[in-house]
Amino acid sequence: MRRAAITAVGHFLPEDRVTNAEMEKWVETNDEWIRTRTGIAERRMLRDPGKATAHMATEAARTLLRKRGIGADDIDAIIVATVTPDMMFPSTAALVQANLGASKAWGFDLSAACSGFLFALSTGASLVESGRHEKVLVIGADKMSSIIDYTDRTTCVLFGDGAGAVLVEPTEEDCGIIDSIERVDGSNWSILCMTGGGSLHPSTHESVDRRLHFLHQDGRHVFRYAVQAMADVSAEIMERNGLTGDDVRFLVPHQANLRIIDATARRMGIGMDKVMLNIERYGNTTAGTIPLCLADFESQLRKGDNLVLAAFGGGFTWGSTYLKWAYDGKPGA
């Protein structure tokens, strides 16, 4: 049976760190509130005005190609999950293709907010499982600082910039992506959104005055849904694959809030020592969080390790993926 497996990971983080202490100078907030309510201590920010999501996605992909020892010409398709594309069109994937010089690839962007990476991974895996492609680049990248209102304390402390990339290739071995669940429910779209700049509210002086080009979130409302949905979907994927907490090597959760992650881990019956966490250092990088976790924990992973990936985000979108890791440790480390 031909399965799709993650065979390499790469990542990119801007060097500039914004600590909670720095945030205290921008809005009425404090380190203690941010840490206890979210688990975040600092986040990264891409300050260079000439660089955006495609730059971070390209750098993540370059690291991955180097680690895997292949060239850009070997790539068949590029899928970029993002809600902060460099521009409305062309796609960020097109810019990444050009930056890399991936001469044989096609590609597109996928918009599913914080679940974007998981949805892109499912899509990329399907292209490989079907036999259509051998090497698909799946990237989660967001320059959240480009759509954050740094006068709104309820959102600005939460988000950061970053990108992670994985390579998806076929395998005949007992590893790779085994199962996934994806969900979307648009009835709550207005609780987490950015309405300006699209075809409904094109950019105008009025749209700028009404602050429509910034992310808007009713955090408390999103929190209630996220806790339930992420835990439900993770429990469901475990149940239908006959997994118990003991079988899972790592939960790889979207990093929006430590309390949401904690609730999901409890429901799955796994301790926090088996949860990939980097929210403290990077905040919520939207489509970047899960591949950034994989990059951070890569050296601890062994072939055959059971991982459950889970995410919840704007749309609402949510999902979970069960995979068996396909290689040992960190190549070149």
Binding site residues, ligand UT7, CB under 6 A: 29, 33-34, 37-38, 114, 153-154, 157, 219-220, 222-223, 226, 256-257, 260, 284, 312-313
Q: Which is nearer to ligand UT7, 306 or 317 (CB)?
A: 317
In whole angstroms, the minimum distance from the beta carbon of 33 to ligand UT7 comes to 4
* Alpha-carbon torsion (299, 300, 305, 308), positive or negative: negative
Percentages helix, strand, coil for the chain (3-state, rounded to 5) are 40, 25, 35
Catalytic residue among 254, 257, 293, 306: 254
- Side-by-side strand order, sheet with 136-143: 3-12, 161-171, 136-143, 77-81, 106-110
Q: What is the 3-state secondary structure (H, E, C) of 116-144?
A: HHHHHHHHHHHHHHCCCCCCEEEEEEEEH
- The question of whether 30 is a catalytic residue gets the answer no
- Active-site residue identified among 20, 284, 293, 306: 284
Nearer to ligand UT7, 211 or 330 (CB): 211
Residue 54: both structure tokens together: 């495609």
Residues 6+ apart with CB under 8 A from 224: none
The CB-of-313 to ligand UT7 minimum distance in angstroms stands at 4
Residue nearest to ligand UT7 (CB): 219
Residue 5 or 256 with smaller CB distance to ligand UT7: 256
Q: Smallest distance, Å, CB 223 to ligand UT7?
A: 4
Lookup: tokens for 167: 């390579």
The H or E element containing residue 290 is helix 289-297
| 193 labelled catalytic | no
Residue 299 in tokens: 């050296």
Which candidate in 11, 55, 114, 216 is catalytic? 114
Nearer to ligand UT7, 219 or 304 (CB): 219
Q: Is 205 a catalytic residue?
A: no
How far CA 198 is from CA of 49, 204, 307, 308, in Å, comes to 22, 11, 37, 34
For ligand UT7, which is the closer residue by CB, 212 or 229? 229
Residues classed as catalytic: 114, 254, 284
